[in-house]
Amino acid sequence: MIAQSQYAPLPGRALIALGGPEWRSFLQGLITQDVETLKPGELRFGALLSPQGRLLYDLFVVGRDDGAWLDVEAAHREALIGRLKLYRLRAKVEITADDTSVAALWQGPGLAGWLTDPRAPGLGWRGYGLAPPKAALADEAAYRAHCLALGVPGPADWAGETTYPIEANFDLLNGIDFHKGCYVGQETTSRMKRRGQIKSRMLPLTFEGPPPAAGSEILAGTLRAGEVLSGTPGRAMALVRLDRIEGASLTVGDRPVVAERPGWMAG
């Protein structure tokens, strides 16, 4: 039996429109994702990093006939526009806010006009300026819970410019192109990839009851094994030390917790 499709408007996301003859080369030199080969109607996931390689903003790039949309956190759209304009210099690129709606669709079959979320199987589709489909109406919190159920972190998990994109699994969620040319923060990101020894990653935790407070310490015996980031009852996202969780009994406060590795992380 096919599950009923779930549809949720995402007012927490907003769009930035890029246009002009040099929009592609401009964006190519900034973000972790390749846009030189982006086609109209194609959706790609990426990020803008600090020069030190820390995660500033996640984004989806939506290919259009005359440019691209950047699907970003609504709360950070104006700040991101300001940062993009600082990088623009003399490039012939137009950067404007766009009020086209953003929505998510998951479970059930895909529909015409909806773009497949490129991060991981099961996340569903994203829609831009589309009429509500015949599906069960959900909200943004339900969509975030859906992502968390699949072990996919979100913006609430990397606030504060303290996280490297590989720690947030961008390399495993199709958010970093390691074959493209230079971009802001590339040196640190490429060095972490080459060394191949990632000490910490974001993994979902399961437990009984309400989620621990953000920042709560995770212990493996008496050793610090990570910290809780965001969560819902029974499940939370955490940044954990990979070398301290294997085979260990983990606790947060006086509660046992279990760290899981999502299926898309295998290999």
Residue 115 resides in a domain? yes
* pLDDT at residue 2 in the model: 56
Q: Are residues 136 and 228 in the same domain?
A: no
CA 155 to chain centre: 6
**Residue 49 in contact with residue 25, Cβ under 8 Å?**
no
Evaluate if residue 1 carries a pLDDT over 90.
no
Residue 94 resides in a domain? yes
| pLDDT tens column, 78-111 | 999 999 999 999 999 999 999 999 999 999 888 9
Residue 178 resides in a domain? no
**Residue 153 in contact with residue 205, Cβ under 8 Å?**
no
| pLDDT tens column, 8-32 | 999 999 999 999 999 999 999 999 9
**Residue 5 in contact with residue 106, Cβ under 8 Å?**
yes
Please report, for the domain that includes residue 255, its CATH number. 2.40.30.110
| pLDDT tens column, 183-200 | 999 999 999 888 877 899
The H-or-E segment that residue 242 falls in is helix 242-245
Structural domain containing residue 246: 199-265
Q: Please say which residue of 157, 184, 216 terminates a domain.
A: 157
**Residue 66 in contact with residue 219, Cβ under 8 Å?**
no
Into how many domains does the chain fold?
2
Residue 173 resides in a domain? no
* Residue range 145-162: mean pLDDT, rounded: 93
- What is the value of pTM for the model shown? 0.95
